[in-house]
Structure 1
């Protein structure tokens, strides 16, 4: 019996007869006769699948370069890998039509869960162990309220040792890990909680927080969206989703700054320039600035030293801020709201 590969164009209903049977797959057709097996491969679809896979890998590698845990050499190595993949598969970051519905990391995790690689223990905890574990969880929650995060972590770990089937314990320990800056450990605990209870919205929300702290914004957005599917009215998830989306936009913007807004646009804004010029014409501000310049030119002998210059600088800044507040209170309020919005809502979330 022989086999051959043919392009889909070689296959049509005319090529079949009563002596042939047909098997159809997603990317291929198979015809079987008594003498041969012919596999008709859909090469065009195969290339499309490979391009989509390569695009997902490139997106994953790009996310890793923004996670903040790599040194410059490691980031450069990833960038070279991205360039090689883009050249080989003839793709670019602008090929948005190639994006998969889920990030590669999430696809991988779902595959692990479906294949039972993340398994539950075979034995059930005793009623006594369940009761002790619950007491330890409550003790951990009290430590979290008092911001004793290391003690809370210990309590949740002991609770897990007694009852490994409770998703809440893993999710609460993830929160403690995040407070301590252990974001990788936090994502691991969230994964375990989701494996135990796939409908546990809080685990998805806390996964989103940890991923956002790791600068993995696309993945964080995906998890916040899943949390909202399970709990559509949760304002915390909505707020954190907006923050992650904003951070993603800032990370993608060439004009983004650490302040989280486009400083270049602000400086070039005619209204801001006019307002700043008006403030600088204020006599009190001019006197403060003149005094600072005199000290700078005259050196230490001209004044009482650097401490006086710093005090003058602070006073000048306060005068400048007061003048802006008086002339354009809307701008000040916008800046205040922006700074407030950059703090996660998850900090006020209660433990289960």
Structure 2
């Protein structure tokens, strides 16, 4: 006798459960080989293809075998009558089907809805619980109680009820929405996004506006979280030219550092001595009037090399050789107050120097 379609779906659900047990840490890596052999044997015996994602999804209804079985266990524990109770004396034909509403359970649900409208969330939870005692696993009662739990900030309980509701009825979109909200409030934005996606799928026609807003909000939170892991971008000075000190002045310490530092070591005059020289004072005034000039100066590779050699004890450079560079000579003339035409040349010279 060949396996029925129902048996094939169950076989796929078992294979999926075994694979998930390895991924979630239920089983160790040492068990991987045995699990793979078991999966292969089940697939061959029941003539199923575990790599067929559509078939696996159809088999488990978007859930997992473990979650489906947990629903069964909860329903069984709630529907099992206690010894000596009135329920044990009721005939099987008189018992309502598990999860099926009755007039009494609907009465409790209506009372719960009225309490929700008055924002008496604890009272509503109590009434929905009474309804569930009569009709365990009813997805509407579970979904309503999930809403009450969310409203009272009991998000884990809300998620549990909503998960149970969608396990019972995977097409009940309102339960998916409440599961998305509960997971969102728990900070599990990926799980919330998944719940809203399944809710949109259950609704059909592209989903309701409320469900799409939930999906959009969850997706945005995921993007924000991913951006938060990136290092913040460095804030740069928006003004043109070189780095600046207080009040927008050019950072003359950078120039002094390039010329050997302001400490007076190695025979180099300190910054105070330099500024007492009329030539350097004139240079500083021109730099403050044209900050781009300092940027060009600092970007010139010849000057950079001069500073490095001097810092490594190489002595003062040959100024005649240095001034033979037309770019540096042009900049020097401008720093000494060479006029508007020279200022343009300095900018061009600096750009040319950077391109070398």
* TM-score, scaled to structure 1: 0.41
* Structure number with higher relative contact order (C-alpha < 8 Å, ≥ 6 residues apart): 1
Greater Rg over alpha carbons, structure: 2
* TM-score, scaled to structure 2: 0.41
More strand, by proportion: 1
